[in-house]
A = this chain, B = another copy of it.
């Protein structure tokens, strides 16, 4: 009895199958991909993975520091984020060339909480984002990201780039005053302090930008597999972020030694050594207030959903871009990114996700396995242990230049023209997203975009195409109203009106609701259909329900059992019209 019950119950069967699957060797390998690739690791991979690891680290270290500064965090938190996530991803990552760590956008989304409250919010955001992403991975909820349309993500990214750029104006020009929670505020604050622009900071900042552009150009057309000169150009170009930061450091150091003062604003003290491994902060002190977990959650508000969604979106977009037509194990990627954030938050990491720029770098450097991340992690540990006193001299203007240059590639300039030509509605959604992002905050802009798109979508679903065909025979006009695929409750009234309108167009017509291609309709639609049948019957009008499938027929008859003689089945609606029609017509 028990067994047959189990057999007959598809839900239980599925659960049983799931449990069985979850314990199989295949699943364990799938969920811990290191077990898959490490045993197959060949010694010839080492050099390639190491080179890739070094180039990535040479970008990850300055970017880690820079992104921590975007978030308003002490610089070491950016390095911690690269470190812990790097370690976790080696074990759990399924895409060999994806590199994880802090990103400019996530840093910008965290900045508001850090500047208004405390550092703890960045770490809690990482923890909660991790839980959220892990949950989405385990329960296959990754499709949620599909509800962020391209125009919304483009608008969001543009706005994020502008917000980050505006937040760096202060460092780039060495002005006084505070930055801001969002673009409009940062620009306003900068404009208010425009008289405090410092010449040498500005020169250094813009020189950094110029140098980065030139170094990038230098590497164009050069590949890893080219001859020595081209290869060197390629490598120098890849390491351009580290190079400009080192140059900046040297200038500052020389100025300090020669002038015995620090004329440039510098990064300053960086916490040395590895992060303590401890619980993420579930309470914090901001100003004179102590905030408990619930208070912190309500401070994070929409950010606690928007940050993980953006993290997920970035990682999915990267995986997709580098999949090259192969399949991605989206679930495993979510689990990996989720664990990176959760475990990272125990090591005081800010929120992390896949980094587009560093993944491209990793790919270009010819990485073969996730082991490339090991070299990166070792170099970060080295930096945290021995180089923090050197990093003290990194000028903020260099970092600002580095950040702003990175933003150029983030903005999709072509989408504006494409949308203008093809879909002004989507362009409008994008512009609304941008405006809300810039004047209210990134998470609200994304939310606005997603909600507007969803509303438009729901509206479209509620107004399906109903192609009414009228066929005139000798005796009678036949009005055929085909219902197609799936009709939802919100379209019930629209469909009802279409049918009533068709019935009013000609007083001597037979209405045939053609359900041949109708797969599904819900209770509301069925009720409305039965209401129409009843109403037309009262007016002595003939209405037939043609070729409805059994499930839908039963649903209708459950609502109105007297409609049973209205249902007809025939292979061709026209050939059999005389059979379908009763004799009295």
Contacts and interface: CB of A to CB of B under 8 A. Distances in A.
A523 B143 contact: no
A491 B503 CA distance: 35
Contacts of A489: 146-147, 149-150, 453, 457
A538 to B, nearest CB: 6
Contact of A146 (B143, B422, B494, B522): B494
A500 B327 contact: yes
A554 interface: yes
B325 A536 contact: yes
Q: Copies per complex?
A: 2
B535 A462 contact: no
Given A149-B522, A522-B149, A522-B426, A462 B143 contact: yes
Contacts of A462: 143, 146-147
B325 A523 contact: no
Most chain B CB within a 10 A radius of its CB, from A323, A325, A426, A555: A325
A519 interface: yes
Contacts of A388: none
A486 B460 contact: yes
Contacts of A531: 320
Given A324-B535, A457-B458, A485-B465, A490 B558 contact: no
A458 B419 CA distance: 23
Given A147-B462, A418-B558, A554-B422, A324 B539 contact: yes
B458 A523 contact: no
Interface in A406-462: 415, 418-419, 421-423, 426, 453-454, 457-462
Nearest to A149: B489
A223 interface: no
Contacts of A372: none
Most chain B CB within a 10 A radius of its CB, from A324, A426, A457, A523: A523
A454 to B, nearest CB: 6
Contacts of A463: 143
A465 B519 contact: yes
Residues of A contacting B: mostly: helix
A44 to B, nearest CB: 25
Nearest to A464: B485
Contact of A461 (B150, B419, B461, B541): B461
Contacts of A501: 327
Contacts of A165: none
B325 A535 contact: yes
Given A418-B559, A485-B485, A325 B539 contact: yes
A506 to B, nearest CB: 14
A498 to B, nearest CB: 12
A493 interface: yes
Contacts of A130: none
Nearest to A455: B454
A236 interface: no
A490 B527 contact: no
A524 interface: yes
30 contacts: A143-B462, A143-B490, A143-B493, A146-B491, A146-B493, A146-B494, A147-B489, A149-B523, A149-B524, A150-B523, A151-B523, A151-B524, A320-B531, A323-B535, A324-B535, A325-B535, A325-B536, A325-B541, A327-B497, A327-B500, A418-B555, A421-B558, A422-B551, A422-B558, A423-B555, A426-B523, A457-B488, A458-B458, A460-B488, A484-B485
Given A149-B522, A324-B539, 4 more contacts: A151-B523, A323-B535, A327-B500, A422-B554
